[in-house]
């Protein structure tokens, strides 16, 4: 019986496998890169005012815009009245994962939506009394410009916040993460 014999030098392939094992054991740098990318991508969702999958966020209600203006805030920008939510997006990378999120108290309700139940409470409204006639006007004024105060009971009510997802991974994000992994493995 005649045969052919081959000798294979697998040392280069084995060295490559060992290098791959070493990289996988020290993958925190990869997860940090992914976290940095996702923070950037999430901030872009705020600029586009869409969810990561491209769905536009529900527009602000006219009452919300009016309230912002009365507080001296910009009426523009969904989820960006003060900038604290968009500015709080951060990533925490470990050796086997990356977490992205926000520590702002109202972050979850904007991501998921929900209903806020406000109990009845006492309050004061500030009004202006006409000094000549003694009549109290029916328009609210700032406390500093008021010369009449009325105690009021604000009834219990609910505020519904629509979901406006800003965290997540889009198809483009998935492709970018795969590219980051490829660069990391072949660097």
pLDDT digits over 4-28, tens only?
A: 766 777 777 777 677 767 776 678 8
Domain count, the chain: 1
Say if residue 182's pLDDT is above 80: yes
Nearest residue to 139 via CA among 156, 126, 157: 126
Domain assignment present for 102: yes
pLDDT tens per residue, range 56-80: 999 999 988 888 888 888 888 899 8
Nearest residue to 37 via CA among 98, 124, 85: 98
Which residues are CB-neighbours of 78 under 8 A, at least 6 positions away?
Answer: 49, 57, 58, 59, 60, 164
Domain assignment present for 73: yes
Domain assignment present for 156: no
Q: Which helix (H) or strand (E) holds 157?
A: strand 157-161
Q: What is the mean pLDDT of the chain?
A: 87
Domain assignment present for 159: no
Domain assignment present for 144: no
Specify the higher pLDDT residue, 146 or 173: 173
Cβ atoms 110, 166 nearer than 8 A:
yes
The 10 Å CB-count burial string (b at 16+, else e) for 126-141 is ebbeeeeeeeeeeeee
Domain assignment present for 34: yes
Rg (CA), the chain: 29
- For residue 28, give its domain range: 13-111+164-186
Domain assignment present for 168: yes
Domain assignment present for 38: yes
């Amino acid at each position: 019986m005649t045969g052919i014999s081959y000798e294979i030098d697998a040392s280069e392939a084995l060295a490559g496998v060992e290098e791959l094992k070493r990289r996988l054991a020290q993958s925190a740098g990869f997860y940090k890169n992914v976290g940095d990318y996702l923070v950037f991508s999430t901030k872009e969702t705020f600029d586009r005012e869409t969810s990561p999958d491209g769905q536009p966020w529900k527009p602000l209600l006219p009452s919300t815009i009016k309230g912002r203006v009365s507080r001296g805030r910009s009426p523009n920008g969904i989820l960006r009245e003060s900038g604290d939510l968009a500015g709080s997006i951060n990533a925490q990378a470990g050796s086997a994962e990356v977490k992205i999120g926000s520590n702002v108290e109202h972050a979850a309700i904007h991501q998921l939506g929900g209903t806020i139940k406000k109990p009845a409470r006492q309050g004061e409204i500030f009004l202006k009394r006409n000094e000549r006639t003694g009549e109290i006007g029916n328009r609210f004024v700032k406390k500093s410009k008021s010369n009449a105060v009325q105690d009021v009971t604000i009834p219990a009510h609910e505020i519904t916040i629509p979901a406006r997802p800003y965290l997540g991974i889009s198809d483009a994000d998935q492709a970018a993460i795969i590219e980051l992994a490829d660069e990391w493995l072949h660097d």
